[in-house]
Amino acid sequence: MTTPDCYACGQEAGFDDLPPRECVAHDEHWRVAHAFNTAVPGWLVLLPRRHVAAVHELTDAEASALGMWQVTLSRALRSMTGCTKTYVVQFAEAEGFAHVHFHIVPRMADLQPEHRGPGVFELLRRPEQERVSADGADQVARSLRAQLRGRPNAQ
């Protein structure tokens, strides 16, 4: 079910020991992680629990859960960050990241015009000093868990 050289599968293989930022929440089909290379607090990545390389390969059960996760996570991010809305984006083109992953990105009211829409990806793959720290991402993860508590799909 896992694929060598796949970052997401590597994390899944160590599931029981993942820090909060790598497993903000999960169900049997999906795992939610905080992006590790972003400058945006709350930039989430929603990953299938098995290696899937294209959206059309998802099962019906995975697809049903996907819709709930996208909306539930968007609500939690809005509660936590006050974002105007969320971006939901799926490409899976970066090397080592062919595993389907949906970016769920809080779109803040003051986001610079050049970073709106596809330009938001300039806030990913940032130099290390600009990124949300591991500790910061763990804190975001704990806050999100509190928002998700009691909701369907929540851990």
Q: How far is the CB of 78 from Zn ion (least distance, A)?
A: 29
If the CB atoms of residues 97 and 121 are measured against Zn ion, the closer one turns out to be: 97
Q: How far is the CB of 8 from Zn ion (least distance, A)?
A: 4
* Residue position matching structure tokens 């609500």: 75
Q: How far is the CB of 54 from Zn ion (least distance, A)?
A: 12
For residue 146, which phi and psi values (nearest 5 degrees)? -65, -40
If the CB atoms of residues 2 and 153 are measured against Zn ion, the closer one turns out to be: 2
Q: How far is the CB of 93 from Zn ion (least distance, A)?
A: 14
- How far from chain centre, in Å, is Cα 70? 10
Q: How far is the CB of 152 from Zn ion (least distance, A)?
A: 26
39 and 126 in contact (C-beta within 8 Å)? yes
What one-letter code names the amino acid at 25? A
What one-letter code names the amino acid at 31? R
What one-letter code names the amino acid at 37? N
> Which tokens belong to 43?
């930039």
If the CB atoms of residues 31 and 99 are measured against Zn ion, the closer one turns out to be: 99
If the CB atoms of residues 7 and 121 are measured against Zn ion, the closer one turns out to be: 7
If the CB atoms of residues 3 and 153 are measured against Zn ion, the closer one turns out to be: 3
Residues that bind Zn ion (CB under 5 A): 3, 6, 8-9, 51, 99
Which residues of the chain form beta strands (DSSP E)?
A: 25-26, 30-34, 44-48, 85-90, 102-107
